[in-house]
Amino acid sequence: MEKNWVKIYSTTNSYLAEILKNVLLTHGIECVLINKQDSSYLVFGEAELYTHINKAEKALQIIEEENV
């Protein structure tokens, strides 16, 4: 991943992160989902959503509007 990317969201529910990723992409905000959950025990680890620092404020605003 390039420099200047920041984590804007993390959750233990990877499906929520995937939904938010798609919502952000439809708003034209490039983002990356990194799933750090254990493949055997999904209760360990989190799914993290990253975006470029220049888009972070807008992305957080969209996430807040989605009430997640």
CATH of the domain at 20: 3.30.70.1530
Distance from the first to the final alpha carbon of the chain: 25
Q: Using the 8-state DSSP alphabet, how is residue 65 labeled?
A: H
Q: Is the dihedral of CA 38, 41, 45, 50 positive or negative?
A: positive
Q: Domain of 61?
A: 5-65
24-62 burial, b at 16+ Cβ within 10 Å, e below that, comes to beeeebebebeeebeeeeeeeebbbbbbbeebbeebeeb
What's this model's pTM, rounded to 2 decimal places? Answer: 0.83
Q: Model confidence over 34-68: pLDDT tens digits?
A: 988 766 665 678 899 999 999 999 999 999 987 76
Number of domains comprising the chain: 1
